[in-house]
């Protein structure tokens, strides 16, 4: 099958410069790379075709021969496979693989790595979570070494070329009939090694440090919410970007209120007399005290709703309510006179009518019917 014109393969004109050729090849290599298109023979063929075209056109001598004589003017057998390839191809090949896999390329290029993300759990009081706050936190992390500025070498010294790979960053390994290239284990693909490590970071380029950061907590956050501080994670390596810090919110239990999303709830103890006769009690809210009116004959466990006394959502979906559950408190530590008065009061209720205790009457009727069914 006749080969396509190399300029057509890359989608460039015959007067295209080196930068345009490189850009076109990067685009095609990333699109058709076999790792991105597994088991796709057509994509693999397009990848090899683009590789061959760029290797010829990026070499000034080969390009001149191709422009004059076409495919007959170049040795295509040196361009078609992965085993060949010149310096120009090695350069662009490294650039492309850096874009695809997140590292840089070959021939001594420094490998750049993004710093790790960090997680910090921030405990807050309910008041802080509801109103918002600015909280200072201390985060142990790795930062760029101030002495060598992340280079790893002692200031005033330079990295040396790796003797094992001769600065290529790659070593050739023979496996049977095949010869493959692998990342140099000595310099880890960088092509250079540190001969005079920095005295502060021991050549790592980063040092451990505890950073103090101010976290702006928005109003309405709740347990499980997360705040992202971009670039406040660990420092990157070899000039790579820093990671992020994720602050996870954990709201501490409150002695009075329980929270459920935008709503709050609390228990309000009232006396037996207040429950029978009715009363007004002062109830705390996060915004101050309010008066809750208790109607007469209120039963223990009744819930009253105070609208708009809850929490404003951090997502701006309105303010919740406060639910007050009254609990009739049983008197304790009564003296004999108080006990006697209670006995007399109870006897007066029992002797007059049972309608004073409708729930007890209903419960007794249910118990009676239950045993009647068992004995039937």
* pLDDT bracket for residue 361 (50, 70, 90): low
Has residue 177 been placed in a domain?
A: no
pLDDT tens-digit series, residues 113-127: 888 999 999 999 999
Same domain, residue pair 139 and 35: no
CA dist 301 and 331 (Å) reads: 17
Q: How many CB atoms lie within 10 A of CB 46?
A: 18
- Same domain for 129 and 263, yes or no, is no
Predicted local distance difference test score (pLDDT) of residue 110: 53
Domain with 310 in it = 258-328
- What is the percent of the chain where pLDDT is above 70? 85
Question: Does 188 fall in a domain?
Answer: no
Same domain, 90 and 132: no
* Whether residue 35 is found in the same domain as residue 88: yes
Instruction: Quick: pLDDT tens for 69-84.
Output: 788 777 544 433 333 3
Q: Distance of CA 78 to CAs 55, 72, 104, 193, 266, Å?
A: 9, 13, 25, 32, 81
Domain count, the chain: 4
Q: Give the tens place of pLDDT for each residue, 284-315.
A: 999 889 999 999 999 999 999 999 999 998 88
Q: Which two tokens stand for residue 58?
A: 């990026």
What is the reported pLDDT for 95?
A: 47
Place of tokens 């976290």: 215
Instruction: Give me the chain's average pLDDT, please.
Output: 83
Is position 72 within any domain? yes
Q: What's the pLDDT at 86?
A: 42
Angle (CA) 133 309 286, round 5°: 40
The residue-averaged pLDDT of 166-191 equals 81
Q: Confidence class of residue 62 from pLDDT cuts 50, 70 and 90?
A: confident
Q: For residues 132 and 228, state if they share a domain.
A: yes
Same domain, yes or no, for 21 and 80? Answer: yes
Looking at the fold, whether 13 and 52 belong to one and the same domain comes out as yes
- Residue of 222, 206, 308 lying closest to 258 (CA atoms): 222
Domain check: are 225 and 91 in the same one? no
Q: Residue 94 — pLDDT band, cuts 50, 70, 90?
A: very low
Q: What is the mean pLDDT of residues 235-240?
A: 81
């Amino acid at each position: 099958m006749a080969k396509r014109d190399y300029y057509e393969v890359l989608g460039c004109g015959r007067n295209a410069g080196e930068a345009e050729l490189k850009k076109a090849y990067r685009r095609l290599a990333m699109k058709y790379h076999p790792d991105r298109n597994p088991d796709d023979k057509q994509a693999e063929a397009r990848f090899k075709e683009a590789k061959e075209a760029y290797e010829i056109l990026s070499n000034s001598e080969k390009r001149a021969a191709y422009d004059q004589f076409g495919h007959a003017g170049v040795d295509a057998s040196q361009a078609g496979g992965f085993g060949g390839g010149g310096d120009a191809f090695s350069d662009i090949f490294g650039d492309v693989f850096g874009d695809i896999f997140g590292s840089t390329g070959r021939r001594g290029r420094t490998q750049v790595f993004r710093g790790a993300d960090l997680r910090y759990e921030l405990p807050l009081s309910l008041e802080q979570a509801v109103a918002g706050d600015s909280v200072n936190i201390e985060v142990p992390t790795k930062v760029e070494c101030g002495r060598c500025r992340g280079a790893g070498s002692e200031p005033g010294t330079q990295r040396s070329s790796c003797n094992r790979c001769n600065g290529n960053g790659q070593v050739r390994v023979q496996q049977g009939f095949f010869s493959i290239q692998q990342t140099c284990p000595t310099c880890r693909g960088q092509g250079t090694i540190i001969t005079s490590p920095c005295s502060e970071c021991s050549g790592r380029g980063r040092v451990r440090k505890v950073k103090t950061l101010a976290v702006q907590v928005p109003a309405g956050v709740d347990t499980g919410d997360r705040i992202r501080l971009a670039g406040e994670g660990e420092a990157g390596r070899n000039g790579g970007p820093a990671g992020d810090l994720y602050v996870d919110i954990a709201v501490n239990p409150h002695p009075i209120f329980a929270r459920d999303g935008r709503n709050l709830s609390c228990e309000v103890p009232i006396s037996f007399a207040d429950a029978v006769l009715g009363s007004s009690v002062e109830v705390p809210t996060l915004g101050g005290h309010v008066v809750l009116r208790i109607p007469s004959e209120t039963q223990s466990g009744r819930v009253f709703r105070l609208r708009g006394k809850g929490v404003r959502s951090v997502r701006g979906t309105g303010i919740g309510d406060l639910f007050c559950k009254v609990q009739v408190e049983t008197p304790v530590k009564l003296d004999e006179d108080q006990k006697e008065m209670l006995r007399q009061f109870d006897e007066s209720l029992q002797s007059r009518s049972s309608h004073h205790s409708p729930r007890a009457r209903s419960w007794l009727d249910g118990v009676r019917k239950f045993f009647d069914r068992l004995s039937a």
